[in-house]
């Protein structure tokens, strides 16, 4: 079972970090990732952080999707020539 | 505080737009397969099937680690519970899976020491605190879990904890996809590739399989927007006749994956052939302990000999995992096989397609 909710690093003690998921605090092992710091969001699987969430990519995916869908809507409405 | 990137990727307005677009571009009848138990659950939980055009069928492939575990391995886990001074540790969803004679849950009810752990860390700590016992972890998992098992073994090795071992039944995703493509009568028009397996493997791990079979393939996350986006891309690729390998989950998945996790995994494990329920023996689809870590191999440490037993009569888990049957087409579904009294693993794990069908239909 994969937990899709990113966890926020709030404390680091060697290879173990404390993470916050919407107020629930857990310990997670950070030996599988590099360069983690307090405030980073990580994906946790079975007690281990397996990656940091790329915030820029997260926002860009949404923006790209919105602009493509909006363009399609304009095309459908016959307004594609009016940016 | 809001949950990071949860609200945004559950945005109802965006979901409606995606569904509208899917409805507009979908012409052909298509069968799309997800290969991740968490995708299975998410598709049901968010009612995604109900908003798709009638021609789009979603199938659940070999993506639930418990479901693809060979019966012989389940029997071996059960046998381990019978050895004196052994504490068997496992993730929760494996405990109820019936082997040919019993399950870990049955053995626990009869007095065996079987414990559910949240992580390998917990299993290693149990060994640290119980020096007079042997702690065995049932190693069932894909690329997401294997590095955590490797990390647990490295911790145990570093701290000289010699009463800890793992019975490995690890599985690798790309070889299973290739094996699936070679299966006669298979009808798949696109793969929704797993999110967190791909966090570790990276997009590049699927490139060989993709290039060989030209199968539309999209990696995605677990929120409804992620899944709808992947479905839209797969439909577009099919309609345009332009198969591609795409990453729709770039906030977590890169081309090369988690290099450090792979390095740790490959330090401890090496690729081997592995038996899969339904798919049979698949070359290079498993990971066994390397020679220098064999002291942590429960299969060598304990004398566990289990015979090959046939899978339960009438159980269609194997065909369901390959997309050849849906749960409703299994003669046992909702009759002899229910979540309370499961016959096959797909009804046991909450991520199994039969359990999900049962719960949400």
Q: Does A76 or B147 have the greater pLDDT score? A: B147
Whether A5 shows a pLDDT value over 80: the answer reads no
Do B252 and A32 make contact, defined as CB atoms within 8 angstroms? Answer: no
Closest chain A residue to the Cα of B42, Cα to Cα: A4
Where residue B10 falls (left for φ over 0; alpha for ψ -120 to 50; beta otherwise) is alpha
Query: In chain B, which among 208-247 make CB contacts under 8 A with chain A?
Result: 221-223, 225, 229
For chain B, give the mean pLDDT. 94
Residue A24 within a domain: yes
Closest chain B residue to the Cα of A35, Cα to Cα: B260
Give ipTM to 2 decimals.
0.89
* DSSP assignments along B164-190, one per residue: EEEEEEE--HHHHHHHHHTSTT---SE
Whether A81 shows a pLDDT value over 50: the answer reads no
Collapsed DSSP state (helix, strand, coil) of residue A13:
strand
pLDDT at B279: 86
The span from the CA of B52 to the CA of B46, in Å, is 12
Do B261 and A57 make contact, defined as CB atoms within 8 angstroms? Answer: no
> What integer is the mean pLDDT of A5-25?
91
**Total domain count, chain A:** 1
Confidence of residue A83 (pLDDT cuts 50, 70, 90): very low
pLDDT at A80: 39
Q: Does B98 touch chain A (CB under 8 A)?
A: no
Shortest Cα distance, chain B CAs vs residue A66, angstroms: 7
Q: Does B264 touch chain A (CB under 8 A)?
A: yes
> What integer is the mean pLDDT of B48-77?
94
Q: Is-contact B298 B80, C-beta < 8 A?
A: yes
CA quadruple A47, B278, B96, B107: dihedral, nearest 10: -110
- Cross-strand pairs, B165: B136
Whether B2 shows a pLDDT value over 60: the answer reads no
The span from the CA of A23 to the CA of A25, in Å, is 6
Shortest Cα distance, chain A CAs vs residue B306, angstroms: 28
Shortest Cα distance, chain A CAs vs residue B46, angstroms: 14
The CATH number covering residue A68 comes to 2.30.30.140
**Residue given tokens 């798709």 in the structure block:** B52
pLDDT at B310: 83
The span from the CA of B285 to the CA of B179, in Å, is 10
Question: How many A×B Cβ pairs under 8 Å?
Answer: 124
Whether B44 shows a pLDDT value over 70: the answer reads yes
pLDDT at B7: 79
End-to-end CA distance of chain A: 44
Shortest Cα distance, chain B CAs vs residue A80, angstroms: 16
Do A22 and B225 make contact, defined as CB atoms within 8 angstroms? Answer: no
Q: Which residues of B touch A74 (CB under 8 A)?
A: none
Do A53 and B199 make contact, defined as CB atoms within 8 angstroms? Answer: no
> What integer is the mean pLDDT of B42-56?
95
Q: Does B268 touch chain A (CB under 8 A)?
A: no
Confidence of residue B122 (pLDDT cuts 50, 70, 90): very high
pLDDT at A68: 79
Confidence of residue A67 (pLDDT cuts 50, 70, 90): confident
Instruction: Reply yes or no on domain B44-312 having CATH 3.40.50.11740.
Output: yes
pLDDT in tens, B309-319: 888 889 999 99
Helices B120-129 and B146-158: crossing angle in degrees, nearest 10, is 30
Among A3-7, B60-64, B66-70, which stretch is predicted with the lowest mean pLDDT?
A3-7
Q: Which residue segment(s) compose the domain that A69 sits in? A: 7-76
Do A65 and B222 make contact, defined as CB atoms within 8 angstroms? Answer: no
Give the rounded percent of residues in chain B with a pLDDT score beyond 70.
Answer: 99
Whether B134 shows a pLDDT value over 70: the answer reads yes
Confidence of residue A56 (pLDDT cuts 50, 70, 90): confident
Do A2 and B223 make contact, defined as CB atoms within 8 angstroms? Answer: no
pLDDT in tens, B230-244: 999 999 999 999 999
> What integer is the mean pLDDT of A77-83?
44
Whether B308 shows a pLDDT value over 90: the answer reads no
Q: Where are the domains of chain B?
A: 44-312, 317-360
> What integer is the mean pLDDT of A48-59?
89
Residue A83 within a domain: no
> What integer is the mean pLDDT of A38-44?
93
pLDDT at A1: 59
Among A3-7, B73-77, B289-293, which stretch is predicted with the lowest mean pLDDT?
A3-7
The span from the CA of B173 to the CA of B263, in Å, is 17
Q: Does B261 touch chain A (CB under 8 A)?
A: yes
């Amino acid at each position: 079972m994969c937990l899709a909710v990113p966890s926020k690093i709030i404390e680091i003690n060697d290879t173990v970090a404390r993470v916050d998921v919407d107020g629930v605090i857990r310990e997670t092992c950070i030996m599988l990732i590099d360069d983690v710091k307090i405030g980073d969001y990580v994906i946790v699987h079975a007690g281990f952080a397996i990656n940091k969430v790329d915030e820029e990519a997260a926002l860009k995916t949404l923006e790209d999707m919105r602009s493509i869908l909006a363009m399609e809507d304009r095309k459908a409405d016959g307004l594609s020539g009016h940016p | 505080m809001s949950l990071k990137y949860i609200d945004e990727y559950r945005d109802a307005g965006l979901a409606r737009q995606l569904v509208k677009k899917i409805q507009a571009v979908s012409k052909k009848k298509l069968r799309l397969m997800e290969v991740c138990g968490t995708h299975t659950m998410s598709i049901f939980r968010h009612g995604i099937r109900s908003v798709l055009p009638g021609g789009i069928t979603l199938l659940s492939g070999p993506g639930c680690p418990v479901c693809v575990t060979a019966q012989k391995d389940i029997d071996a886990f059960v046998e381990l519970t019978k050895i004196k001074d052994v504490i068997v540790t496992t993730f929760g969803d494996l405990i109820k899976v019936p082997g040919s004679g019993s399950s870990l849950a049955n053995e626990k009810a009869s007095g065996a020491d079987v414990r559910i752990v949240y992580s390998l860390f917990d299993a290693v700590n149990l060994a640290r605190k119980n020096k007079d016992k042997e702690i065995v972890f049932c190693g069932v998992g894909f690329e997401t879990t294997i590095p955590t098992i490797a990390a647990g073994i490295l911790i145990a090795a570093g701290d000289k904890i010699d009463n800890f071992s793992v019975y490995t039944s690890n599985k690798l995703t790309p070889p299973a996809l290739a094996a699936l493509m070679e299966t006669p009568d298979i009808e798949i028009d696109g793969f929704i590739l797993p999110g967190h397996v791909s966090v570790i493997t990276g997009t590049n791990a699927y490139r060989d399989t993709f290039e060989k079979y030209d199968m539309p393939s999209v990696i995605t996350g677990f929120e409804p927007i992620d899944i709808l986006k992947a479905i839209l891309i797969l439909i577009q690729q099919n309609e345009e006749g332009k198969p591609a390998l795409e990453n729709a989950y770039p906030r977590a998945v890169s081309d090369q994956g988690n290099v450090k996790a792979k390095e740790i995994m490959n330090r401890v494990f090496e690729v081997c052939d592995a038996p899969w329920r339904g798919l049979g023996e698949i070359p290079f689809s498993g990971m066994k302990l390397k020679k220098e870590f064999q002291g942590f191999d429960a299969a060598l440490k304990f004398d566990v000999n289990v015979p090959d037993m046939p899978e339960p009569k009438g159980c269609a888990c194997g065909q369901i995992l390959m997309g050849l049957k849906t749960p409703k087409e299994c003669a046992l579904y909702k009759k002899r096989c229910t979540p309370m009294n499961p016959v096959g693993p797909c009804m046991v794990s909450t991520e199994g397609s039969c359990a999900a069908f049962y719960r949400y239909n």
